[in-house]
Structure 1
Amino acid sequence: MSAEIVIANASKVFGSGSGAVAALQDISATVPEGQFLCLLGPSGCGKSTLLNAVAGFTPLTEGAITLGGAPIVEPGPERGMVFQEYALFPWMNVEDNVRFGLDIKGVDRSEAAVTVDRIVAKLGLSDFRKRYPKDLSGGMRQRVAIARILALDPPVMLMDEPFGALDALTRRTLQDELLRIWAESRKTIVFVTHSIEEAIYLADRILVMTYRPGRIKRDLVVEIPRPRDTASGAFNALKRELAALVMEEQKRFTDAELHGAAVD
């Protein structure tokens, strides 16, 4: 199956009647196989709603999303999801967490062990494989969450602010690790972020979204060669351009907060 994602006229309304909230409106975009796409915008622009629709967690009100030409109507093993909250099982150690999806799939125990060994080594977790989540730093927990997805080897990775709660140094380390993994595997990645710098540092392409209802405000290809220098003139020129776009929507969000809650 191709890992190309096609989003066609996607709209999502939560609730009904006077309480209805339009989270997404008429979004169309094609994410080619192997592309690293970032969804960028302030809280309330529907980034996570769109990601959850691609994951199959949130059904659309109108429109459709396909993967390799097949409609997405529910979660599937070809799409791995990494959350900001790590989503690890606290009663399982690192290697058990990483192996969990393989056990659910019924993968032979010896074959699963080989896969787990390879993945934990790739992510620098070999010395922590018998540790439990409570004994790990935030960065290490997120490495385990990413390792669990990589063990299943899905062609698509969906990432919802996965580094948002980390300190700056750990965040950059994991960004570099993710880029290394992506360069090796060329998985299709859809990555949600509030950070303009993170989006520029990681993405092939950035979709800037408007405040509710979420629409595509700007579809921008990042042409800065990798590895990217965050202090370069090209990087900072693009950062200023995106900041202006995002701040327009942030102002709309701030104004709207005076009259009701946002949907992200």
Structure 2
Amino acid sequence: MSASAVRVTGAAKRYPGADADVFSRLDLEVAAGETFALVGPSGCGKSTLVRALAGLEPLSDGRIERADDGRHPVLVSQRPALLPWLDVRENVRLGHRFAQNAGRRAAVDVDELLVDFGVAHLADRYPDGLSGGQRQLVAVARAMAVDPDVLLLDEPFAALDPAARETLQDWLRTLVDRRGVAAVIVTHDPDEALHLGHRVGLMLRGAVGLARTWDTGRLDRDALAAAPARAELLSLYETRVRAGRGAARTAEAA
């Protein structure tokens, strides 16, 4: 796995009592330094898969392989979950200390990290004195303090207003490139996926594997509207969402 940060083979997830798998026979490989964006409607299993990659959710079948270099994945969710009694510096340092206590490699200097993330001026503030976007910056900084092999992001910008979301999307692109970390980002926003991902995978509920993948190399915002991959992705995405709504209305009528 020298060229891969993580590889998923034949992954399946079924919850007890469910009639069908959430997903099945799903294969995914993310290269070192690559950002893979996973997009799909609610309920298709995106968050379940990324939690499995983080080691927080067991698969029903299949396997996950990582490079054996002593590093581990870290998950950043939509809610930053900063500890309100710790200031920014100590919240970031918490991840660093956890890694050290667990015997993991944690060579990232916290103060240098705060400078690199552009939040050094916030180091002495507490979470209630930060904006939503600033809290997410700190949450990602805390994750990076662990020196992860894969940065996992589960809709990290979904709760932000559009302007803040675009700013943080651009910031994240720059960050993962500068630090050379592999990343998997989960989103329900096709444009966010195409802007952030070197590759984009469409996940649909009950599908066997990924419905489709695109190797776009990332798209700048001014190229999104005319991109063939965007038209294809939106067509597949919207068709399935409409079908799901129709099925829900039929079930309610019955």
Q: How would you bin the TM-score normalised by the shorter chain?
A: 0.7 to 0.9
CA spacing shift, 1:223–1:69, aligned 2, 3 Å:
same
Q: Does 1:161 align with 2:155?
A: yes
1:180 to 158, 163, 174: 174
Q: Distance in 2 between matches of 1:56 and 1:256?
A: 33
Q: Which residue of 1 aligns with 2:146?
A: 152
Q: Distance in 1 between matches of 2:203 and 2:93?
A: 36
Letter of the 1:237 counterpart: P
CA spacing shift, 1:100–1:250, aligned 2, 3 Å:
same
Please state whether the residue corresponding to 2:21 is helix, strand or coil.
Answer: strand
Q: Distance in 1 between matches of 2:136 and 2:226?
A: 27
The Cα shift of 1:148 comes to: 0.4
> 1:7-46 residue pairs with structure 2 within 5 A?
7-16=8-17, 19-46=18-45
Letter of the 1:8 counterpart: T
2:196 to 202, 208, 215: 202
2:242 to 236, 239, 251: 251
What TM-score results when the alignment is normalised by the length of structure 1? 0.85
1:229 to 206, 220, 231: 220
Residues 94 and 129 in structure 1, CA contact (< 8 A), matched pair in contact too: yes
Q: Which residue of 1 aligns with 2:229?
A: 238
* Structure 2 unaligned residues grouped into runs of 5+: none
> 1:81-120 residue pairs with structure 2 within 5 A?
81-106=75-100, 115-120=109-114
Letter of the 1:15 counterpart: P
Greater mean alpha carbon deviation, residues 36-45 or residues 124-133: 124-133
Q: Distance in 2 between matches of 1:161 and 1:138?
A: 14
Q: Which residue of 2 aligns with 1:55?
A: 54
Q: Does 1:215 align with 2:202?
A: no
Please state whether the residue corresponding to 1:15 is helix, strand or coil.
Answer: coil
Letter of the 2:41 counterpart: P
CA spacing shift, 1:69–1:120, aligned 2, 3 Å:
closer
* Structure 1 unaligned residues grouped into runs of 5+: 71-75
CA spacing shift, 1:207–1:254, aligned 2, 3 Å:
same
The Cα shift of 1:211 comes to: 2.1
Q: Sequence identity, in percent? A: 36
The Cα shift of 1:42 comes to: 0.6
CA spacing shift, 1:235–1:5, aligned 2, 3 Å:
farther
Please state whether the residue corresponding to 1:127 is helix, strand or coil.
Answer: helix
CA RMSD of aligned residues (A): 2.5
Q: Which residue of 2 aligns with 1:122?
A: 116
Between the two proteins, the alignment pairs up a number of residues equal to 246
Residues 42 and 250 in structure 1, CA contact (< 8 A), matched pair in contact too: yes
Q: Which residue of 2 aligns with 1:73?
A: none
CA spacing shift, 1:250–1:143, aligned 2, 3 Å:
same
What TM-score results when the alignment is normalised by the length of structure 2? 0.88
Greater mean alpha carbon deviation, residues 168-177 or residues 139-148: 168-177
Q: Distance in 2 between matches of 1:119 and 1:257?
A: 47
